[in-house]
Amino acid sequence: MNQQQHPQPQQPDYGQPQQPGYGEPQQPGSNGLATTALVLGIIAVVVSFVPVLNVVVWPLAILGIIFGAIGLSKAGKVRKGKGAGITGLVTSAIAIIMFFAMNALFFSAVDKVSAEVDKSYDSATVGDGKSKTGGAKESEVMKDFKVTKCDVVTGDFDIKEMAIHVDYANNGDRRYSYFVEGEVLADGKKVDDFMSTAENLAPGQKFTDKNAGALVNADEIKDAKKLECKTIKASRTDF
């Protein structure tokens, strides 16, 4: 009688690791450059909305484009990071576009504000009778001030000084600040300039500026036979 043979149980092999079968998909690798490009691109877009300060967009966006391109090329090998690489490229490019757009809008707004401020100035050029900025007429500004003294005087310690006094009187219906520029003529020849200011005068208020001659060198005109202080430009600003 034949004896039935039983198969011997196989012992597990603990010494050799299990190898994946042929054709089994590999796990995707890492793609840190693509992720970095994505983060840089997002930060660059956010910063691009802040005019002037958004100059930092340039290094962020440039690095985002470089890392995004490298990460995108690497994505085909590691099978990971394609979406992040593309997004990093796109957001970096958008950030550069927004940089130009926001700064253009900002400086355009600044120009408009400056133009509005300029309209509040009443300026006149003295001598040719023409308004310099299209503001107040010459007579409207000139009636509020007058050069009352133009001479060389002896100050402390017998030092010769140029004395130019300008009297102001606000004849308007609001507060004004004044700025006057002029020339000092000695025997008909210009030798120097002078400036005078009066700040925030109320309607009807008077003021005398006794320091207008501070910029003039008295030594150049002390021997002149005739001195003249000629107003060249006058302006006033309302509040």
In three-state form (DSSP H/G/I as H, E/B as E, the rest C), the secondary structure along 130-199 is CCCCCCCCHHHHHCCEEEEEEEEEECHHHCEEEEEEEEEECCCCCCEEEEEEEEEEECCEEEEEEEEEEE
Q: Is the pTM of this model over 0.95?
A: no
Average pLDDT rounded to a whole number, residues 205-234: 84
Tokens of 152: 């060389």
**Mean pLDDT score of the chain:** 80
pLDDT at 152: 83
Greater confidence (223 vs 49) lies with: 49
CA 48 from centre of chain: 15
Given a contact cutoff of 8 angstroms between Cβ atoms, the answer to whether 195 and 87 are in contact is no
User: How would you classify residue 129: left for phi > 0, otherwise alpha for psi between -120 and 50, otherwise beta?
Assistant: left
Nearest to 168 by CA among 138, 208, 195, 129: 208
pLDDT at 5: 55
> What are the tens digits of pLDDT across the range 151-189?
888 777 777 778 899 999 999 889 999 999 999 888 888
> What are the tens digits of pLDDT across the range 90-142?
999 999 999 999 999 998 888 888 777 665 554 444 444 343 433 455 567 88
Given a contact cutoff of 8 angstroms between Cβ atoms, the answer to whether 63 and 44 are in contact is no
Measured between alpha carbons, how far is residue 60 from residues 1, 40, 110, 175, 215 in Å? Answer: 88, 6, 27, 50, 51
% residues pLDDT > 70 (the chain): 77
> What are the tens digits of pLDDT across the range 17-58?
555 544 455 555 678 888 999 999 999 999 999 988 889 999
Residue position matching structure tokens 């005078």: 196
pLDDT at 28: 58
Q: Look at residue 10 and tell me whether its pLDDT is greater than 70.
A: no
